[in-house]
Structure 1
Amino acid sequence: MTAPTTPGPAPRSRPHHPRTVGLDLGGRTALVTGAAGGIGRACALRLAAAGAVVRAVDRDAEGLEALAADSPGLAGAVEPQVLDLTDLDAAEAAAAGADILVNNAGLQLVRPIEEFPPDVFHTVLTVMLEAPFRLIRGALPHMYAQEWGRIVNISSVHGLRASAFKSAYVAAKHGLEGLSKTAALEGAPHGVTSVCVNPGYVRTPLVERQIVDQAAAHSVAEERVLADVLLKDSAIKRLVEPEEVAEAVLYLCSPQASFITGTSLAIDGGWTAH
């Protein structure tokens, strides 16, 4: 007779790991400023690929045409809208009905404070701080009514740190950080989040146009600007790609990011680790 066997230990149940949910923005309308190039262009294409209808806003009509030409076949649609953000009333009106707002448009001039043109300082603050305020103001009634909204402000490492010769840009980005946090506190009871994304130097025309001015301001050769000036404080010695920033923006616009608000996401290659 065969001896009875002793039952072994019960098999351990495997922990349940739910599948990652796709970042689907179907049915959402997004507005992206500065959408004709650089980070804005990458964000517009990425949000459209996720299913959002994207109002692509810029004053560069040719750049918007090129963007629209690159968007067929995406899950959502790209709707070009030529707009100069110094027209603040038009900016506020353009944001009405948007579920997602990406404040990206910006400009840069590298000069010492005593040589910085006051009219350019005013324009930088208008486009990069006052226009985001008006865009948020225009978008919030719809977001509050549906109890859902995403505001992503493309700030910069210069929203967290300062650099010489960039008084207007640094002032605007620091102001944007405060505006974003205030919007987060006010929006929280209504299901609206507000976050800053803070990239280091990104491979964009805005950065490329700085090379000559940076060389003059820092008294270095143009070919040394990237290593000796732009990437000097970055642990990772390369430029950020616009698509890398766009991926972060997409996540922050998703339902899965509902608990991320009032903060700043550094994509800076370790710059702010110093």
Structure 2
Amino acid sequence: MLKEKVALITGSTSGIGLATAHVLAQQGINLVLHGLVSATEGQALANDFIAQYGINAIFDDADLQDVASIERLITKAISTMGSVDILVNNAGIQHTQSAESFPLEKWNAIIAINLSAAFHAIQFALPAMKRQGWGRIINVASVHGLVGSVNKSAYCAAKHGLVGLTKVLALECAEQGITVNAICPGWVDTPLINDQISAIAKQQDSSFEQAKYQLVTAKQPLPEMMAPAQIGEFILFLCSDSAKSITGAALPMDGAWTAQ
């Protein structure tokens, strides 16, 4: 059912996005990869997917802070691949600082990439999805789309906004064969977290594993981080017929963080 569908995944050259790309490619889903690498590196990555999985794949380095660039990304994907059946809005950035001293340029960038880019990508992709009567839109939000944390004003605002956007689009697309959902992960084991863990270990003169345990359990009862591929597997499920009645949901994958 999903074989030869086309998935566009923003921020798919590393972390959650890359892991999701591998999960979807294993099912024969063609890919539009996107990320902050050179065109040469990106196309080399796409070629690796083609060789490994026998799918079609292309790469684009669209600037998600630029609306025209996002439109070009969607237009290129549809013209080159034939459609965008699955849109995974995954790209995101982070900056932590108190609200009163939060830099304007950081606020604007986080809102643009984490929220506005998802809206624009959806807006440009929807007409083709509606014409074919099928589509899956998955917004990778965060547990911070459901709760707050100090020093994360822009990130929490953007992710809460992404959850709200998800609900509105699900209502608007309910009779079009298109589902729209948000995934809200807690701690995910990506290289970006390692610096934070190392800093805690150094500060407290503890081991990396001890610091990791402390970081995770300060927020979530389950004392382990998720592997990025677990999110990819959940995204794959949301694309399946088994999940066609799940729409407009903000789905925590957070080790009981929000159950408290």
TM-score (norm 2): 0.87
- CA-based RMSD: 2.1
Is the alpha carbon distance of 1:259 and 1:225 closer, same or farther for their aligned partners in structure 2, counting shifts above 3 Å? same
Seen in structure 2, the aligned counterparts of structure 1 residues 210 and 167 have a Cα distance that, compared at 3 Å, is farther
Structure 1 residues 271 and 93 mapped into 2: Cα distance closer, same or farther (>3 Å)? Answer: same
CA gap 1:266/1:259 in 2 versus in 1, 3 angstroms = same
Distance 1:79 1:49 in 2: 16
Mean Cα deviation higher: 94-103 or 56-65? 56-65
Partner of 1:67: 45
| Contact preservation (8 Å) 2:141, 2:184 | yes
Where in structure 1 are there 5+ consecutive unaligned residues? 1-23
Provide the rounded CA distance (Å) in 2 between the counterparts of 1:221 and 1:165: 25
Is residue 197–residue 215 contact of structure 2 (8 Å, CA) maintained in 1? no
Residue-by-residue CA offset, 1:98-117 (whole Å, 9 max, x unaligned): 11100000011111112211
**Inter-partner Cα distance in structure 1 for 2:180 and 2:20:** 16
User: Which letter does structure 2 place at the counterpart of 1:74?
Assistant: Y
- 2:27 corresponds to which residue? 50
Equivalent position SS for 2:4: coil
Which residues of structure 2 form unaligned runs of 5+? 79-83
- Residue 128 (structure 1) aligned with residue 114 (structure 2): yes
| 2:93 aligned to which of 107, 115, 139 | 107
Q: Could you tell me how far 1:209 is from its partner in structure 2?
A: 4.6
Q: Describe the shift of the 1:36–1:267 C-alpha distance in structure 2 as closer, same or farther (beyond 3 A).
A: same
Measured against aligned partners, the alpha-carbon deviations of 1:179-233 in whole angstroms (never above 9, x if no partner) come to: 1111100011111100001111111233335457x86xxx977957533444312
Structure 1 residue 269: deviation in Å? 0.9
4+ residue segments displaced more than 4 Å: 209-212, 219-225
> TM-score by structure 1 length?
0.83
Separation in structure 2 between the aligned mates of residue 160 and residue 167 of structure 1, nearest angstrom: 13
Which residue of structure 2 lines up, in the alignment, with residue 264 of structure 1?
Answer: 250
Q: Give 1:92 shift.
A: 2.7
Q: Tell me the residue number matched to 1:187.
A: 173
Cα gap change, 1:165/1:227 in structure 2, threshold over 3 Å: closer, same or farther?
Answer: farther
Pairs aligned (count): 247
Judged with a 3 Å threshold, the aligned counterparts in structure 2 of structure 1 residues 221 and 195 are, in CA distance, closer, same or farther, namely farther
- DSSP 3-state at the match of 2:131: helix
Higher helix share: 2
% of aligned pairs identical?
39
The match for 2:17 is 40
